[in-house]
Structure 1
Amino acid sequence: MSRSPPASSESSSSAVSVSGSSPSRRRASPPLHSTLLREDFDEVLESEVFVDVNKLRKFSRHGIPDEIRGEVWKYLLGVEKSDRSNEFTQRRARYESYQDIDKENVEVSKRVRGEVNRYLMRTKKESLLDPHTAPDIFEAVICAYINCHNHVEYSPALISVCTPFVITMQNECDVYSCFERLANVLSESSQDNNIKKRVAQFLSYFRMLMPELYNYFEEEELDVSEWASSWLRYLLSKELPTPSVLSLWDVYFAMPDYIEFHPFVCLAILRHLKDSLEDLEQSEIRSMLLRLPKMNISRIVSQAYNIRSEIQIRYSATMSPRS
């Protein structure tokens, strides 16, 4: 079930989707901005001695070209080291380590395959996954993760968190390494007491910034903790359309504090959808919050920065001693 390691540095750098997209299917004349952006990334990635991750972070904030997203993410997540002097040795060691992991887990395998098949059926027209290869990759990666992290219980949300890596990376070992990095961060930030505090803080901000919408949710007896907890736990991987998740995570992985920044993105989404949500009834609101529409992530992130500044100013004014 495992994939063989890349034979060379060059082949491992080809971050093509598992859907089998080929260069010939790309647009013949990409926009000038896209061309310049790709050239910036290529200049950094093609360095023979040292990959400047700080430059990759800077460029990634404006989005990463689809065909190199997987390669860039590996550096942003720390899976690939910036020093390339021992690159092949490190990759070989990572591959061999992954090969040694037990990937057999009958109960988890059955649940993973069921969830992946349901996901593929639900997203048949717009799915970026290859239905022939994706189930095997999900099964191997998630079973390996569960077997290596005994404190983690299987959740269907793991499929959503893993999906962007399956889409952007060809090599199963790379999928596992990046998924493990992110899943560990999310697991740590979602410890029982911590997630309760994060949800409470988020709802406090929500009430302060958008009292009309917050009160409307209460009038409609919407279970706020249901959607808010999921939004905060899994970086909107369950709720946003996959292309929007990819764009959002480009920005997040370029940040040192994306877990702390994430609630402001969630608030920006609520503000963006406010008028639409206020026209809906309880069941319709719930459906929209659990299946968000595609949106302009750049604008959402920009709005999130504004919201964070707005909240900081309000709290500073509240905490300032009165004259």
Structure 2
Amino acid sequence: MTEGKEAHWEVVERILFLYAKLNPGQSYVQGMNEIIGPIYHAFASDPDVTFREHAECDSFFCFTNLMSEIRDFFIKSLDETDHGINKMMSRMLQQLKNSDLDVWLKFQQLELKPQYYSFRWITLLLSQEFPLPDVLRIWDTLFSDESRFDFLIYVCCAMIVILRNRLLNGDFPSNLKLLQNFPPMDVQIILSKAVELSQQKN
């Protein structure tokens, strides 16, 4: 690191600090760092040095705008609202039932609840499930869609459906481990499957 330059983590820390100060009703919640990370990386690694110089303010602007859309995921008192995390997980489970009844029945049999695996998927927009380049690819698709959170549900379902054979043959511990540690694969396969699911007639 060049002398006099701040470390990237210091910049990210300041962005989160300012966000918390400006939003006292919400403040900082664990996991927000996973949301700002890919945003800051995209700006801080821009090949144009002129743009890189504004990475902090650009990241803060985009992070604030994104948080305005997903803030309900981070506020416990809003968990049961239409845009709360519990509602999103219920929607995902219903979509799984529509897309692959056998897997849904298997999950019911095992009492494998979406809270055990999809809470993190949805809250953090899959930022912990894939390597950073894949996260950026997924986010490109999500953020280009006006119904981005509907498509997020389809992506989550696609992740499950793609693993259907292993899940149908697994028990509770093995399936939970599989879902909490999603195996490496070409993310385009997941996105293509998500598009396919979104086009199915339920």
Query: Given the two structures, how large is their TM-score scaled by the length of structure 1?
Result: 0.51
Tell me if 1:152 matches 2:42: no
Separation (CA, whole Å) in 2 of partners of 1:214 and 1:144: 42
Report what 2:89 is aligned to.
199
In structure 2, give the amino acid aligned to 1:185: E
Greater RCO (Cα-Cα under 8 Å, separation 6 or more): 1
Describe the SS at the equivalent of 1:238.
coil
Between the aligned partners of 1:220 and 1:178, the Cα distance in structure 2 is 40
**SS of corresponding position for 1:169:** helix
State whether structure 2 residue 107 is matched by structure 1 residue 217. yes
Q: Deviations over 1:304-323 (max 9, x none)?
A: 1221121xx22xxxxxxxxx
Match of 2:154 in 1: 264
- State the match for 2:43 in structure 1: 169
CA distance in 1, matches of 2:177, 2:154: 21
Tell me whether 194-203 or 144-153 shows the greater mean CA deviation: 194-203
Moved over 4 A (4+): none
For structure 1, list consecutive stretches of 5 or more residues without a partner in the other structure.
1-18, 21-131, 315-323
Q: Secondary structure at the match of 1:152?
A: coil
- 1: CA distance between counterparts of 2:184 and 2:18? 32
Q: Does the aligned pair in 2 maintain the 1:265–1:304 contact within 8 Å?
A: yes
- CA 1:241–1:279: 2 relative to 1, 3 Å: farther
Q: Give the whole-Å Cα distance in 2 for the aligned partners of 1:154 and 1:279.
A: 40
Aligned letter for 1:157?
G
Instruction: Tell me the percent identity.
Output: 22
User: 2-side partners of 1:253 and 1:287: how far apart?
Assistant: 29
Shift in CA distance, 151/309, structure 1 to aligned 2, threshold 3 Å = same
Q: Deviations over 1:210-234 (max 9, x none)?
A: 2222222233332322322332222
Structure 2 runs not aligned, ≥5 long: 45-54
- Per the TM alignment, residue 272 of structure 1 is displaced from its structure 2 partner at its CA by 1.1
Is 1:178–2:68 an aligned residue pair? no
Equivalent residue number for residue 240 of structure 1 = 130
Specify the structure having the higher radius of gyration (Cα). Answer: 1
What are the Cα deviations for residues 175-214 of structure 1, in whole angstroms up to 9, with x where unaligned? 2111111122111466421223322222112123222222
